[in-house]
Amino acid sequence: MDLHLDDRLLHGRILHGWGRRLGARRYVLVIPAAGDPARRAVYAAVAREAGAELVLAAADAAPAPRAGDFWLADGPAAALALWRAGRRYRRLILIGLRRSAGRRLGPDITADEADLDALRALQAAGVGCERRRFPDEAGEPLPPL
Amino acid sequence: MIPAVIVCHGALGEAYLEALAGIYGEVTDVATVTNEDLGAEELESAVAASLERLAGGGIVFTDYFGGSCANACLTLLPARPAVRLISGVNLPVLLYYLAHRHELGMDELVRGIVNRGHNSIRELSPPVL
């Protein structure tokens, strides 16, 4: 499986640009266990509208992957936590990461120091990290971190 | 008078204001928020700041349900019962809002806006000559 990364989680680009094109039937959002209840409720409503199932899971309680899944984390820290919890993914696809300050790694991708540390750790673990805005674009490797 | 905020992707909100100024004249008490380059939390903060002006009641227009703008608004709505949220904003809807925001109460205004939105998308036939 691939893990996608977008700090906005379930929003327009994910739903229309990725999910519909890839035929996503279930969105798995890797988020902190104590995530904001209002946001959880919004994501549930959005997934319902899209006709897809939604699973909100902490990194150490993620479900088993299945066909039609679209896995999504809100930042490199969540991606690293998922990896460290033993869930293996083929690659990490950075779609959007919009920090107010940090290093610009590509369109819609600005990483702060904590993000960079987590991405370095993932790369050191052998995870291929690429940036890609839409599924029909070629993925580009991240610049040296 | 019921104030409003337009929360949209990119430059849409400002573009709506500009178009309204050309059609309707000067537009007051309507603010805009864009999601451009904002992370989820920053966008929520920007929307929350704009909602301060709606503390006494107001309408938020957003572009579409499921987008980051609507998500941010929905997240903030539970703590702001005097604020109403309408998705699918377009020019007919905004023109209706401007024309009626002084005379209608909130419920009636919202009902009218939604009806106007539903009626605003239609296939137009060429005129019979």
Q: What is the pLDDT of residues A30-56, one digit of tens each?
A: 987 667 888 899 999 999 999 999 999
Closest to B39 (Cβ–Cβ): which among A12, A42, A98?
A98
B67 Cβ contact list (under 8 Å, min separation 6): A11, A12, B9, B35
Domains defined along chain A, listed by start: 2-136 (3.40.35.10)
Rounded average pLDDT over A65-69: 97
Q: What is the pLDDT of residue B44?
A: 95
* For chain B, counts of helices (H) and of strands (E): 5, 4
Instruction: Report the percentage of chain B scoring pLDDT > 70.
Output: 100
H-type alpha helices, A1-145: 12, 20-22, 37-49, 76-84, 113-124
Q: What is the pLDDT of residue A10?
A: 94
Q: What is the value of ipTM here, to two decimals?
A: 0.81
Chain A hits for B65, CB-CB cut-off 8 Å, are 46, 49
Inter-chain residue contact A98 with B67, CB threshold 8 Å: no
Determine contact, residues B54/B83, Cβ cutoff 8 Å: yes
CB-CB neighbours of A132 under 10 Å: 18
Tens digit of each residue's pLDDT (9 = 90 or more) over B4-19: 999 999 999 999 999 9
Q: How close is the nearest chain B Cα to the Cα of A12, in Å?
A: 4
Determine contact, residues B77/B85, Cβ cutoff 8 Å: yes
B66, two tokens: 């499921």
A109 Cβ contact list (under 8 Å, min separation 6): A94, A96, A97, A98, A131
Q: What are phi and psi of A135, to 5 degrees?
A: -65, -25
Rounded average pLDDT over B39-63: 95
Instruction: Determine the distance from the C-alpha atom of residue A123 to the mean position of all C-alpha atoms in its chain, rounded to a whole number.
Output: 16
Rounded average pLDDT over B80-92: 97
Q: What is the pLDDT of residue B128?
A: 85
Amino acid identity of A34? A
Task: Name the architecture of domain B4-120.
Answer: 3-Layer(aba) Sandwich (3.40)
- Cα radius of gyration (chain B): 15
Inter-chain residue contact B67 with A38, CB threshold 8 Å: no
Of B101, B59, B103, which is closest to residue B80 (Cα–Cα)? B59
Three-state SS for A28?
strand
Rounded average pLDDT over B99-121: 97
H-type alpha helices, A10-92: 12, 20-22, 37-49, 76-84
Instruction: Determine the distance from the C-alpha atom of residue A107 to the mean position of all C-alpha atoms in its chain, rounded to a whole number.
Output: 16
- Cα radius of gyration (chain A): 14
Length of chain B (residues): 129
Inter-chain residue contact B66 with A9, CB threshold 8 Å: no
Q: How close is the nearest chain B Cα to the Cα of A47, in Å?
A: 8
